[in-house]
Amino acid sequence: MASFIWMEMNLKHFDNKLVTPKSTLSVIISELSIRINHALNGKEDNTVNKQIGLAWKTVDRLVVKTVLRCKWKLPLAREFLLSIDGTADGCYGGMFRDVEGTFVLGFAGKEAAVSMLQHLLRALERGLTHGISNRFVDFSVSTISDMFIDIVLMRKVPPWNCIAINNDIQEKIKMVQNFKIEFVYKEANATIGLLA
């Protein structure tokens, strides 16, 4: 492309019929269009990008960004919401809230770093332990990991190093009246992320 631009700027053209000023300009525009198309691919559909896209006939590559509202749901009557999180470096934590969203109980801990999954399981195990000792009988658990939920609900087999802790969790779940677990977006679980 640089050579075509140089030829056009310096009005250098070959005597053959294939490379003419018009064909040189056409190649430059085509190459720029491809590069702009690539640069705009997946970019936000805003006024500036749209003007560039319209000028180079590449508007179809722009995407419309959608706003996703993230918030946690209040637990039902008599339930306690247990929000948990774990980190890859061995930290975990959780927080209980009542039906009005008021903080009831929190906990955090650190253990040898193994995996985020194991530390999420540890957070749930400790949360269930604290909840049972405080006579909470209805649990609604929120977490940011679908895989974690599948393991707790026995839809997937846990990794070998998480089997023992998952077995403890299953025994503790039998000790409460109602237990449910659901996914929440990380942004809605940010307080627990800071705690962990």
Q: Where is pLDDT greater, at 114 or 9?
A: 114
Q: What is the pTM of this model?
A: 0.61
Q: What is the pLDDT of residue 150?
A: 92
CB atoms under 10 Å from CB of 22, counted, come to 8
Q: Are residues 143 and 186 in the same domain?
A: yes
CATH number at residue 110: 3.30.420.10
Q: Are residues 179 and 84 in the same domain?
A: yes
Q: What is the pLDDT of residue 109?
A: 93
Report long-range pairs for 26-35 (Cβ below 8 Å, ≥24 apart): 27/1, 28/1, 28/4, 31/1, 31/4, 32/1, 32/56, 33/57, 33/58
How many domains does the chain divide into? Answer: 2
- Whether 109 is covered by a domain: the verdict is yes
- Whether 52 is covered by a domain: the verdict is yes
Task: In whole angstroms, give the CA distance from residue 166 to residue 68.
Answer: 32
Average pLDDT of the segment spanning 84-104: 88
For residue 26, the enclosing domain spans: 2-61
- Whether 160 is covered by a domain: the verdict is yes
CB atoms under 10 Å from CB of 97, counted, come to 22
Q: Where is pLDDT greater, at 74 or 110?
A: 110
Per DSSP, 107 falls in state E
**Using CB atoms within 10 A of its CB, is residue 133 exposed (0-12), middle (13-18) or buried (19+)?**
exposed
Q: Are residues 96 and 185 in the same domain?
A: yes
Contact 80, 62 (CB under 8 A): no
Task: In whole angstroms, give the CA distance from residue 177 to residue 102.
Answer: 22
Q: What is the pLDDT of residues 3-59, one digit of tens each?
A: 656 555 665 555 555 566 676 667 777 776 666 666 656 666 667 767 766 776 665
- Whether 69 is covered by a domain: the verdict is no
**Given pLDDT bands bounded at 50, 70 and 90, which one contains residue 70?**
low
Q: Are residues 164 and 90 in the same domain?
A: yes
Q: What is the pLDDT of residues 134-175, one digit of tens each?
A: 998 888 888 888 888 999 999 999 999 999 999 999 999 999
Q: What is the pLDDT of residue 129?
A: 95
Task: In whole angstroms, give the CA distance from residue 83 to residue 113.
Answer: 21
CB atoms under 10 Å from CB of 57, counted, come to 10
